[in-house]
Amino acid sequence: MTTESVSAGDDPRRLLSDVRALARRVRLDQRVTAVALLALAAVSLLALPVDWLFLNADCGRATVESGAACHIRGFSRGFYWLPALLLAYSGIAVYAARAARARGLGARVLPYVLTGVALAVLSAAAWVWAYFYLDPPPAEPFADWVMVLDRLVGPAGTIGLALLVLAWLERHVALLAYTLVYLVLVLVPPAETFRLPPGLLGVHTYFLLPHLISGVALLLGGLGFALARRWRR
Amino acid sequence: MTAEAGDPPAHPVTGLDDVVHQRVRLGILTIAHEARRVEFGYLRTQLQLTAGNLSQHLGVLETAGLVEVEKGYEGKRGRTWITLTAAGDTALAAEIGRLKQVIARVETTDTEENR
């Protein structure tokens, strides 16, 4: 060993602690959490008027008391959500690469962006499948697990699943906690938790409320992480 | 010298690599590993080194084949980017593994002495 490599600073514990601190510093400098959440919030909130216009709800004689199901068809998943999500993920990738480069680092969001794109495509494919194979729709309401799966492969659900990948890439515990809360909000919509009858809100509002909640949750999350980053600096 | 049967296993400190087991060079490898690609200025700021000192350490790592140094321009400004090679990645993982072994060995010895 050289004299240089046995200095007091080369104590194994201190070296490992320095290594961990440096790795954490780099990860902090590479984070794009706020921008990703704000971009996805914009996509989600812009979807509301589109969803409103292209939501086809056929409730016929269904009432809450009868337990019969409304036949809901949202056409926006095919022509709005897929291109909008692809655009958002591309924007996040470009921003992350430029921001990291400006700081003198490489970007690490590629797996997140690829996951997001793959899930967006899967969501659109599931919609196309349902469009052709669930026509006419079954008379009985779907089982609860089918509805949860439907929400998971819906645009808001795929955004949450991809965020889990971002939390892992950024080793970001706060983002992981946020994402788990977000997924609960998406998978268990308040309208159903509180058993709000469709008649109270109107059919369109009833079915778009979860989208509004997920959009607002993303917006608040984005603003929160942006403020936290600013405060840390 | 080869170990004979019955000899106690070699202390992990004997496996430490002089090139990697140095605070600054270990820092360079760590940052390059996390960043995928890192610019000279970022390394200099994080490690609080002069340009000359950092260049010396990078030279040692480049000669050992642990990093690749790429010089280029962005507009009129020269920029130097450092990338970890596969050998560098392996060396960093091995060094961290050995450091953990050394710490574990020291802690075991301390515990036995306190009994």
Determine the residue among B11, B29, B30, B98 to mutate to test chain A binding: the one whose Cβ has the most chain A Cβ atoms within 10 Å: B30
Q: Which of A46-55, A109-118, A210-219 has the highest mean pLDDT?
A: A109-118
Three-state helix/strand/coil letters over A115-136: HHHHHHHHHHHHHHHHHHHCCC
- The pLDDT of A160-179, averaged and rounded, is 96
- C-alpha R_g of chain B: 18
What whole-number percentage of chain A has pLDDT above 70? 75
Beta carbons of A30 and B96 less than 8 Å apart = no
Q: Among A52-66, A102-116, A178-192, name the one with the lowest average pLDDT.
A: A52-66
Assess contact for A159 and A40: CB atoms under 8 A. yes
User: pLDDT category, A174, cuts 50, 70, 90?
Assistant: very high
pLDDT value, residue A2: 42
pLDDT of the residue at B78: 84
pLDDT recorded at residue A209: 80
Average pLDDT of the segment spanning A104-113: 93
Name every chain B residue with its beta carbon within 8 A of the beta carbon of A16: 96, 99-100, 103
Contact across the interface for A26 and B41, Cβ inside 8 Å: no
Residue A133: per-residue pLDDT: 75
Q: Which residues of A touch B26 (CB under 8 A)?
A: 15, 18-19
Enumerate the residues of chain B whose CB falls inside 8 A of the CB of residue A27.
Answer: 34
How large is the greatest C-alpha to C-alpha distance in chain B, in angstroms?
Answer: 66
Bond into A136 cis (ω within 30): yes
Under 8 Å between Cβ of A123 and A77: yes
Domains and CATH numbers, chain B: 17-114 (1.10.10.10)
- Cα A32 to Cα A28: distance, rounded to the nearest angstrom: 9
- What residue spans define the domains of chain A? 28-232
Lowest-confidence region among A119-123, A126-130, B83-87: A126-130
Contacts of A97 in chain B (CB under 8 A): none
Query: Which of A6, A105, A172 is the best substitution to test chain B (most B C-beta atoms within 10 A)?
Result: A105
* Cβ within 8 Å of B, A 34-93: none
When pLDDT is cut at 50, 70 and 90, the band that residue A178 belongs to is very high
B26/A18 CB distance under 8 A: yes
Query: Residue A24 — pLDDT band, cuts 50, 70, 90?
Result: very high
Q: So what's the pLDDT on residue A53? A: 81
Taking contacts as CB-CB distances below 8 angstroms, the residues of chain A near B31 are 22-23, 26
B89 touches chain A (CB under 8 A): no
The answer to whether the Cβ–Cβ distance between B27 and A18 falls below 8 Å is yes
Whether B17 and chain A come into contact, CB under 8 Å, resolves to: no
* A3 touches B: beta carbon within 8 Å: no
Contacts of A15 in chain B (CB under 8 A): 21, 23, 26, 99
pLDDT at A23 over 70: yes
Q: Which residue has the tokens 């892992």?
A: A168
